Structure 1
């Protein structure tokens, strides 16, 4: 051995022998290599050839051969073959001309935290990133049609296949309501995953989808999922081993590495009662580490649909599609007709959407759960989804219940438009909870109110979820007159022309009219207190109030809602019911 060769080996430089035409696994796992020299005669490099070479920082490649170097990586044409597994850079942007990333291309690099995939990459699997234990984000180019992301999760272009979840995103609970396939090694690095809820669309699972490390402690498998999962399954505790998972069951992983049934799947993933009786004493609680969240319903006794002024078309729709099926479920079962279990009430603020929801609960004598976004959102990872799960679980225990989400666009905002990466998990959890509503027809209704329906995720708006939408618009002249007449009848006042007031308040919502009346009351009280005027409200008091109170509904909101009603801001296939007497002033 020459002195030069010995010095080079001492420095960690290794040259591939000249007679070698192929590189297999002979260099894999070697930690003494810092620089690898490849000659131009090499004709084949096996995928993952340099995995485990945690000190290998550089490739040196002679020109004129099959392979080339680009930004320090080995390329075969436009295919990324190998990234230096010991390179200590935290971020890597895949060269723009790259079209394919081969399996194990990043060779289990332990330093990478972020990888940016270009717009031209059209082929890759989760195996490319396998073993990159500190990887936090795989970002996809804005104009890449082959892949997309939802927070840290990578899907194929149409979101039917789960491609990869980086390990440092540390998922604890995952729901896959619409994915048809789990791709190769897509979950292999997710050691923290504890709860996996599969959707009823799943058709195929790659053999190495879960790798050797990912073993969720709980699985929910709908009865439509018949593809085999790569685990050991058995019946209930003490039962015999089965060849594959049995659809329509809930499973828990026991210490012997076998998944055993703990219940049947009925649209609810892991009912608390069934799970608690199977949980061992040393296992962490299934629900929040901060204690189980409680949602207390109320009985509504102070609301009625007949008390709501105007909105006649809306009230008719609600009576026919929500109240009638609950009162006469046998009639709908006779005709095998699934009723609306999820309804969106949309329109400008202050027009009675909340009052309508309360009235529905009162008409049905149902437990009423009024939910604000702050009741669901939480800063801790996975906590928001657990709260949502607990809400539905509590509501299903009631003989009859109505869940009402106020400001629903804060909870159901479209995943592609959300700035919060965790929003996708919350949407996925909501989708999985909505799956079983058909089986609770007539006993559980979910109503949601929003001023911005065009911001909702399209997956929420399909039939079976929130496929029924009702426009609750501004009160017309007749409705405004009725509101004035009903409110003024409760206080001492002179004869007042309510039709005149209705004409003066065009464009006002119901809340604005209430504020006008309250302002007039205060004006009359002050007048009486100062010794001026009589003790009855007059038209002058209301005229004064109208100079102080203007419409709170912005023209921009009116324009956007009008466009949505016309279908100009609505996803294809969504059906919207719009009341004929609720024209948006100036936009129809």
Structure 2
């Protein structure tokens, strides 16, 4: 049997307890147990690892070695892992060790459907059962789940949510729901998260569209893809159709020499204008890090005519993000107020990465010492020593636009932000 006091085994067991869903930790512990002569203990860990990751080749190879009595891997005959092995029998022997699903190979996928003839190529992007080929979500998020960002929530209420929820007042004041909403700001600040929360707030379907969902190498295919996505949103109405990186899909036509991109933008404009269709119940949201690169025609009334600046999280939001990412980690003596102050200017993604880096420092220290310990402020101090806000380059570019190219007051909110943060370097 393995020595229970072995520092390596102790550290690996601590790692498994801290992250029980990480199959890699269980495989590493099983290998150490095998090397120490504890084949039975290794089988238990490998059974659980294969439940979590049925396709793990290292776990399968170690299981073969463990079931053969701990024979080193190099002495096992060089056969395919599944060849000649009685998996059902092994599963029956281990039925009380780990819960299903077991490591019996998954059933073979059904044969592919025949390719439709060219005459059927113009059908909508649906599978044979009529379900949309593009993923349609039903987000459970609401704006209450978005920490901080009170200014963004107010703008969304005024421009989008309040008129929708009060149809009688909307008709009284002649408020139109035509047009879309453009979220812009530095990367990693939660624009996609806010868009999903808007869909959840409306109780609407959510379709997220990226560059790869639209752009195609064949002439006319990009325009067709855009048309089909809008058709899908109309069928799923009420639906939030969210375009990420809209500056890439709707870039300034004057800056591109590619005729295909120009016709794609033209199709985008036609769909937003509801040419030949009705966009009632389709709420179009876009997100971009570079609104100044979006074609001006896309920002005219009736299209992406309303903009919301999504800035790095404020103190309240950073505190919520820190609590979220530390909720399942072993911590002690962490000064949350100090971390909130020292992460001013960090994006939400930066704050999440800080927590990940501090956990990595504590984990490596535990591996080296053989003793698991709690995460503390020294780990965050070390992580902060190498951390820099990723928003700096974006603010450097945005400052020039807000101060010298603010045509028609399109970036007044950004200019106001710089005015109120004159003494803050890099923001």
Residues 512 and 562 of structure 1: is their aligned pair in 2 closer, same or farther, counting only changes over 3 Å?
Answer: same
Instruction: Describe the shift of the 1:480–1:580 C-alpha distance in structure 2 as closer, same or farther (beyond 3 A).
Output: farther
CA distance in 1 between partners of 2:283 and 2:356 (Å): 34
Q: Are the aligned partners of 2:125 and 2:228 in contact in 1 as well (CA < 8 Å)? A: no
Shift of 1:500: 1.7
CA contact 2:148–2:317 (8 Å) conserved in 1: yes
1:299 aligns with: 138
1:204 aligns with none
8 A contact 2:126–2:133 mirrored in 1: no
Partner residue, 1:312: 150
2:396 alignment counterpart: 559
Q: Which has the higher strand share?
A: 1
**C-alpha distance after superposition, 1:288-339 (max 9, x if no partner):** 79999932311112x3322222211011111232222332223212222113
Aligned match of 1:569 in 395, 405, 415?
A: 405
**1:370 alignment partner in structure 2:** 208
Identify the residue that residue 409 of structure 1 maps to in structure 2.
Answer: 247
| Contact map agreement 2:192 2:244 (CA 8 A) in 1 | yes
* Residues 1:507 and 2:345 are matched in the alignment: yes
> What is the distance in 1 between the residues matched to 2:162 and 2:143?
13
Q: Distance in 2 between matches of 1:283 and 1:545?
A: 57
Instruction: Name the counterpart of 2:49.
Output: none
Partner of 1:543 in structure 2?
381
Within-5 A mapping of 1:94-173? none
User: How far apart, CA to CA, are the structure 2 residues paired with 1:328 and 1:490?
Assistant: 41
- Structure 1 spans left out of the alignment, 5+ residues: 1-281
Question: Contact (CA 8 Å) 1:469, 1:575: kept in 2 or not?
Answer: no
Correspondence list, 1:445-524, <5 A: 445-524=283-362
CA RMSD of aligned residues (A): 3.1
Hey, what's the Cα distance between the residues in 2 that align with 1:291 and 1:379? 21
User: Aligned residue for 2:36?
Assistant: none
Counterpart in 1 of 2:17? none
SS in 2 for 1:422: helix
Contact 2:183–2:308, Cα closer than 8 Å, also in 1: yes
8 Å Cα contact 2:164-2:170 kept in structure 1: no
- Return closer, same or farther for 1:490/1:304 CA change in 2, 3 Å cut-off: farther
3-state DSSP of counterpart to 1:572: helix
Deviations 1:433-483 (CA, angstroms, capped at 9, x unpaired): 111399645x21111111111111000001110010111112234433342
Per the alignment, in what secondary structure is the counterpart of residue 259 of structure 2?
A: coil
Aligned equivalents of 1:283, 1:530: Cα separation in 2:
62
The answer as to 2:270 corresponding to 1:435 is no
Task: State the 1:506 CA deviation.
Answer: 3.0
Q: TM-score, normalised by structure 1?
A: 0.47
Within-5 A mapping of 1:49-448:
287=122, 294-301=133-140, 303-339=141-177, 341-436=179-274, 440=279, 443-448=281-286
Q: Post-superposition shift, 1:362?
A: 1.1
Change (3 A) 1:290 1:502: closer
The answer to whether the 8 A contact 1:288-1:386 is kept is no
Q: Which runs of 5+ in 2 are unaligned?
A: 1-116
The residue aligned with 1:194 is none
Structure showing greater Rg: 1
Cα offset, 1:550, TM superposition = 2.6
Q: Distance in 2 between matches of 1:546 and 1:348?
A: 20
Deviations 1:27-63 (A, max 9, x none): xxxxxxxxxxxxxxxxxxxxxxxxxxxxxxxxxxxxx
Number of aligned positions between the proteins: 303
**Quick check: 1:395–1:403 contact (8 Å CA) kept in 2?**
yes
- Name the CA distance, whole Å, in 2 between partners of 1:580 and 1:490: 39
Q: In 2, distance between residues paired with 1:290 and 1:328?
A: 35
Change in 2 beyond 3 A, CA 1:550/1:377: same
Shift of residue 577, structure 1, vs aligned partner: 4.7
> Separation in 1 of the partners of 2:126 and 2:305?
34
Residue 361 of structure 1: CA displacement? Answer: 0.9
Query: What TM-score, normalized by structure 2, do the two folds share?
Result: 0.64
Deviation at 1:390, TM superposition (A): 0.5
State the alpha-carbon separation in 2 of the partners of residues 363 and 307 from structure 1: 10
Note the C-alpha offset of 1:415: 0.1
Contact 1:342/1:466, CA 8 A, preserved across alignment = yes
> Structure 2 CA distance, aligned partners of 1:534 and 1:400?
51
